[in-house]
Structure 1
Amino acid sequence: MVEAVIVDLVHDNCLQYEDCVEKRLSKAADIIGSEQTKDVYLMFNQNNPTTAHSCKSLIQNLLKKFDSLKEVTHILSQPCVASSLYCFKQAIDKANLCTVKIITSAQGKTALEAYVDLLFTAVYSFEYEVVYDNSHCPGSDPPTTNNTETFLTGEQLQHAREEVSTFLRQLPALKGDITILRSPLISGDHFLHGFTTRTGGISYIETLSSLNLFSSSKRRDPKSVVAENIRRLALEAGFDETRFHLVKTDHANDVWVIGREEPESYDGIVTNQTGVVIAAPGADCIPLLFTDPVRKAIGVAHSGWRGTIMGIAMATVNAMVSEYGSAVTDIVVIVGPSVGPCCFKLYEESAKAFRALHPDCVQNRGSSAYVDIRLATRVLLERGGVLPDNIQDESVSEGRQNLTLCTSCHPDKFFSHVRDGNNFGTQMGYLSIKEGPDWGH
């Protein structure tokens, strides 16, 4: 069932635009009337600011002629296609709609598909009904030999990307400024690092708002919005977004060594290259940062409960040892914001592995087993030879800021899958070796 309809009235340079709009609205009214759609959105020519207002007035007057459109129509009076579609997205997100029909021309379909790919995810379903032909409009788009299919040129695709990027850059930050948490155990002279919180981005859906740093086909935040959030984070943190690498999570224990072929998925990254930024996501799972100030090597890992018990933390340590000659006793590990044993529970069958690792990793409350994946991480790291004082988590607090806050317990600071459900946002821990520091050697 179609939940919302966009009627595409955009066709540049048409010498009979008023007549064309009336004909297009008439066709749209017939289609919409038969489907009884509740939400209809009209997009019209807005490229020329001097005519945009007159076009809107024209459309408002023409709507009076069509009974099926009078009560259900919204006019997208935005300055460009990107902003119109973004405004439309905000409206259907608020109503929790996802099935959309676009009534358009063959030429319009090709262009709009590019914008939809940039501004929406697979959560949304788009159906295109081609009922117009721009080639019949005097002075408008040139005729095509095949009106049922047109192709987007590289120049047109680049224009769409630039328009979307430019539009997103001018949006205001939501929920305050970007805030970054840092550890005193990592030298600011030699390394760039931090754990993000949820403020300072442009994501507007409540569970993703506002500095969501991960786009999923199962959630409503598109890659272009996440890219803008990462751009803003890079400016605030001082790193090069073009050298940024985020873990491709598999909830396992594979580690990518930068410089080698990148696997399809992995939960850890290590490198000794300066200026390269590596990052691990987390929305209850632990983002782990690893530094070796002696061998000048770093690593990050994403540690969910499966990855924790599979040993992703020590897999990352071992990769630094084997690849860069790190001594385990030189490696510093920072445990980032993650779900605490106060809020994280597993079925007993899954909790058994944690209980076997250390009895304190599981607390029984009634019929539920609450699991401490942070303690499990510490136990595994210490057994692997990492010095206890080189691990920063909530169990060591003397003179140190607690960075290992429970993500589920702090909705003002962090995203949480446990708390927010499937349309959750994601924060991250990031790390880089600074270029040209004085290492004291």
Structure 2
Amino acid sequence: MVEVVLIDFSDVHYDYIEKWLHSAVNIISTCNLTESSYVFMTYSQDNTDIVNNDIQKYLHQLSNQVEMPKANLEVLVQASFAAILYTVKQKIDKQSLSNIQVIVSTGRKAAFEVYVQQLFTATYKFTFETLVIGSEGEIKLQLPGTCVLMSQQRDDIWKDIWMFMAQLKGVMGEIVILKSLLIPDTQERQNDKAQKIMTRTPTIDLSCSQPSAQILTLHSSLMVALWQDARVNIMATMVSILD
């Protein structure tokens, strides 16, 4: 059964948001929902706070005008999509929910899957329904296809995740600077600086019973710093540590 429904409006033009919601509601009506299912309406664009607040109010208004589960309905509008999914994860973890139905545009599905791979484990079961805006402005269901992300798009997703993680507060214990043999000293600029790894035990409090993805085990400050300096080394370090 579907325990969580996530409707994403992130790349939907303002003029089509209402139609998009009606199409999403039609999909929801065919789902085998639990009695206490959660519904999240999400929107993520790098807008000003004023614009995002207006979008959030508009989505709330529209949700009140349609027949859809409202007992556990929440509208999440933020510039960081990683922050949105983190909020979703915290809320569903408290209820031990893991079956998630995502309603998303065809073009955004690939990006969504990258976020899921990094922020969730295999414990969570995601299924996707994809919508597309037709040539005459109609919203229609489309069979999921294969969409390949550009390298810049992937980099933007990684940066969004890591920058958000940098804002999270670690808990318990002081920061310890350790010498790392995982990052080879092949360049002069790495001496005494790039070989230092910031660690904390534990690093991040996810407030959940289910384990987070591998990326969450690294200290956020390290991820952001190395992102700016040596992304390839980061990946090698992560794999070595987690192995």
TM-score by length of 1: 0.42
Supply the distance in 1 between the matched residues of 2:148 and 2:134 (Cα, whole angstroms): 15
How far residue 69 of structure 1 moved from its aligned partner, in angstroms, is 3.5
The CA distance in 2 between the partners of 1:198 and 1:127, in whole Å, is 34
Distance apart, 1:229 and its partner CA: 5.7
User: Is the 1:7–1:43 Cα contact (8 Å) retained in structure 2?
Assistant: yes
Preserved CA contact (<8 Å) 1:29 1:69: no
Name the CA shift for 1:198/1:20 in 2 (closer, same or farther; >3 Å).
same
- 2:153 is the counterpart of 1:151: no
Q: What number of residue pairs does the alignment pair up? A: 206
1:379-394 equivalence runs, <5 A: none
C-alpha spacing 1:172/1:149, structure 2 compared with 1 (3 Å): same
Query: Is the 8 Å Cα contact of residues 105 and 134 (structure 1) preserved in structure 2?
Result: no
Q: 1:104 to 1:226 in 2, by over 3 A?
A: same
Q: How does 1:122-137 map to 2 (within 5 A)?
A: 122-133=122-133
Counterpart secondary structure, 2:68: helix
* Partner of residue 405, structure 1: none
Residue aligning to 2:23: 27
Instruction: Give 1:155 deviation, angstroms.
Output: 1.0
Q: 1:330-377 CA deviation, whole Å, 9 max, x = no partner?
A: xxxxxxxxxxxxxxxxxxxxxxxxxxxxxxxxxxxxxxxxxxxxxxxx
Which of 181, 203, 206 is residue 204 of structure 1 equivalent to?
Answer: 206
Aligned twin of 1:271: none
Scaled by the length of structure 2, the TM-score of the pair is 0.72
- Secondary structure of the corresponding residue to residue 177 of structure 1: coil
- Alignment partner, residue 46 of structure 1: 45
SS for the counterpart of 2:100 is: strand
Over the aligned positions, Cα root-mean-square deviation in angstroms equals 3.2
Match of 1:345 in 2: none
Q: Which residue of 1 aligns with 2:191?
A: none
Report the CA distance shift for 1:101/1:179 in structure 2 as closer, same or farther (over 3 A): same
Instruction: Find the structure with the greater CA-based Rg.
Output: 1
CA separation of 1:228 and 1:197: change in aligned 2, threshold 3 A: closer
Instruction: State the alpha-carbon separation in 2 of the partners of residues 20 and 74 from structure 1.
Output: 20
Distance in 2 of aligned mates of 1:39 and 1:70: 8
Q: Which amino acid aligns with 2:29?
A: G
What is the one-letter code of the residue matched to 2:169?
Answer: P
Deviation at 1:93, TM superposition (A): 1.3
Alpha-carbon distance in 2 for matches of 1:27, 1:20: 11
Q: CA deviation at 1:117?
A: 1.2
Instruction: Quickly say closer, same or farther: Cα 1:107–1:96, change in 2 above 3 A.
Output: same
Equivalent residues in 2 for 1:39-438, closer than 5 Å: 39-49=38-48, 50-133=50-133, 148-178=145-175, 198-199=201-202, 201-205=203-207, 220-228=211-219, 231=222, 244=237, 245-246=240-241, 248=243
**In the aligned structure 1, how far is the partner of 2:11 from the partner of 2:79?**
15
Deviations 1:236-272 (A, max 9, x none): xxxxx85854374xxxxxxxxxxxxxxxxxxxxxxxx
Higher relative contact order (CA 8 A, sep 6+): 2
Q: Is the CA contact 1:98–1:123 (under 8 Å) kept in the aligned structure 2?
A: yes
Shift in CA distance, 179/106, structure 1 to aligned 2, threshold 3 Å:
same
Residue 31 and residue 225 in structure 1: after superposition, are their counterparts in 2 closer, same or farther (change >3 A)?
same
Once residues 146 and 164 of structure 2 are traced to their aligned partners in structure 1, the CA distance between those partners, rounded to angstroms, is 28
C-alpha deviation, 1:3, in angstroms:
1.3
The 2-side partners of 1:47 and 1:247 are apart by 33
Q: Which amino acid aligns with 1:24?
A: W
Q: Unpaired segments of 5 or more residues in structure 1? A: 138-145, 181-191, 208-218, 236-240, 249-441
Between the aligned partners of 1:2 and 1:47, the Cα distance in structure 2 is 30
SS in 2 for 1:123: coil
Amino acid at match of 1:231: L
Contact 1:7–1:102 (CA<8 Å) still a contact in 2? yes
CA 1:135–1:3: 2 relative to 1, 3 Å: farther
Structure with more of its chain in helix, by fraction: 2
- Unaligned runs of 5+ residues in structure 2 are 138-142, 178-194, 227-232
